[in-house]
Chains A and B, each alone.
Chain A
């Protein structure tokens, strides 16, 4: 058993802020508790779908906020939009149930698909393909799940070639012109896969040291946005080419892409820049 002094040391409570070494700096980028990323709304406006004060809201670059409907109980992770059809993915709260929501205006959402009978969540969606995982009690991913949007709605599909990433959460998926590209973040960077049919996937060279949050096709080239793994420096790049520092503040967190623009959360607000820059 511990001595009294040791026990006292181990059980001592800290004040609200630890009395240890002072943090180097603080910022306000966590003003939104969580968010699903950015999407292109009808009319071409980039919007952030974020959870604020217990509800999902739309936030524009000018700071205007609009409350959504139909997302009560949703734990959203990703959102995408092509200007007409909008899709958000995540899980229902509680024991997570992978769920997909759709909207035509970004304000009113309806549940489009729910995976019953298994603890699961979707974590990435793009161009009619949603990727997620069956998850354990601790929310660790176990097995990859995928759903495709067809004329009859969202249907689960098998995936091959992603098995070795079953323990990773997908972070982004996008069309490439002749199929899809998907990203998942591991302990030291991002693994990438491409597929022509959304079923059979082929591994691509990994992106070490960066967590990719968004992918988009611009002028025939796949652009990615993300943050460095350690100090979260904002980064962008082109598949199979160099990475660059985008013209955003150092504290900016990548939110994904909306059309050809990348979205970033900095200082508690949304900013967007051309993804190809």
Chain B
């Protein structure tokens, strides 16, 4: 386990006990997970570069002494992202359920970037326990889109609803309507390859979706 206060130079704050607190904290994670966090934030910086640099992140935890990935030091709970241009994305404020489409799209863009590096990303659509943060962990790697995964399916359904106006039920069941909407999304995002079997194809899809999300553009 290693201790860190910043990810690749970007400070990570804790707001669960005091919102707005900018005291640097001593987070812990395994070296391998920290390395993936560096890749993740570099993805996020690149795909959201129009917003400027990332000023800070807010997390609810990395290593936490409890069963599962947090207890292994291989998980992150993301609460908030702030860019130098003034933009924010705030899972803590349940942005996935915002009444503003641009806010939901930005949340989905951050969500997509998490999924580029972490196979299990649990978001506000997944269940009530993740309504106020996005959980990402080392389980199930390599990354790909698995139709039997409730997390992946709900993400794709929410994505298609917010960018394609697909009108899907976000129920986690990958049926014909979800497949059809996903096919349309893949085509419009220029995805080649099979995101269900190819990590590269899934990552390409997620990058393209994230760029649309940060730009608040339908596809």
Interface residues of A (CB under 8 A from B): 1-2, 6, 9-12, 14, 16-21, 23-27, 29-30, 34, 77, 121, 123, 136-140, 167-169, 171, 185-188, 208-209, 211, 213, 226-227, 229-232, 253-254
* B positions within 8 Å CB-CB of A: 1-9, 14, 16-17, 25-28, 30-31, 34-35, 37-39, 42-43, 46-47, 60-61, 63-69, 72-73, 77, 116, 120, 122, 126-129, 132-133, 139-140, 146, 148-151, 190, 203-204, 207-208, 211
> With the chains together, A139 CA to B67 CA distance in Å?
10
A96 to B85, CA, bound (A): 45
Other-chain contact of B65, A6, A9, A227 (Cβ < 8 Å): A227
- Chain B residues near A23: list those with CB within 8 A: 2-4, 31, 34
Cβ–Cβ contact B14 & A18, under 8 A: no
B64 touches A185 (CB 8 A): yes
Q: A30-B1, A30-B73, A188-B16 in contact; A138/B151 too (CB < 8 A)? A: yes
Establish whether residues B151 and A17, one from each chain, have CB atoms under 8 Å apart when the complex forms. no
B41 to chain A, nearest CB (A): 8
State A229–B129 Cα separation when bound (angstroms): 17
B7 touches A20 (CB 8 A): yes
**Chain B neighbourhood of A136, CB < 8 A:** 150
Contact indicator B61/A140 (Cβ below 8 Å): no
B-chain residues with CB within 8 Å of residue A169 when the two chains form the complex: 66-68
Chain B neighbourhood of A21, CB < 8 A: 4, 6-9
29 contacts between A and B (CB under 8 A): A1-B204, A6-B46, A10-B43, A11-B203, A16-B35, A17-B35, A18-B35, A18-B39, A19-B38, A20-B9, A21-B7, A25-B2, A26-B2, A123-B67, A137-B149, A138-B150, A139-B139, A140-B122, A140-B129, A167-B128, A171-B67, A187-B16, A188-B17, A188-B60, A208-B17, A211-B66, A227-B65, A229-B64, A230-B26
Complex CA distance for A188 and B182, rounded to whole angstroms: 36
Query: B4 near A230 (CB under 8 angstroms)?
Result: no
Given the known inter-chain contacts A2-B211, A10-B42, please indicate yes or no for A26 contacting B129, CB distance below 8 A. no
Question: Please, how many angstroms separate the alpha-carbon atoms of A20 and B14 in the complex?
Answer: 21
What residue of chain B has the Cβ atom nearest to residue A16's Cβ? B35
Contact (Cβ within 8 A) B65 A253:
yes
Determine which of A17, A123, A168 lies in contact with B129 in the assembled complex, contact meaning CB atoms within 8 Å: A168
Could you say which residues of chain A place their CB within 8 Å of the CB of B5?
24
* CB atoms of B208 and A139 under 8 A apart: no
Contact A17:B7 (CB < 8 A) given known A138-B122, A253-B65 = no
User: Does A30 contact B139, Cβ atoms closer than 8 Å?
Assistant: no
Q: In the bound complex, do residue B65 and residue A140 qualify as a contact, i.e. CB atoms below 8 Å apart?
A: no
Report the nearest A residue to B113, measured CB to CB.
Answer: A10
Question: Do B25 and A187 touch (CB < 8 A)?
Answer: no
Residues in chain A near residue B127, CB distance under 8 A: 140, 167
Shortest C-beta distance, A32 to chain B (Å), equals 11
Residue of B nearest to A167 (CB): B129
Given A2-B211, A138-B139, A167-B129, residue A226 in contact with residue B25 (CB < 8 A): no
In the complex, A187→B122 CA distance in Å?
Answer: 13
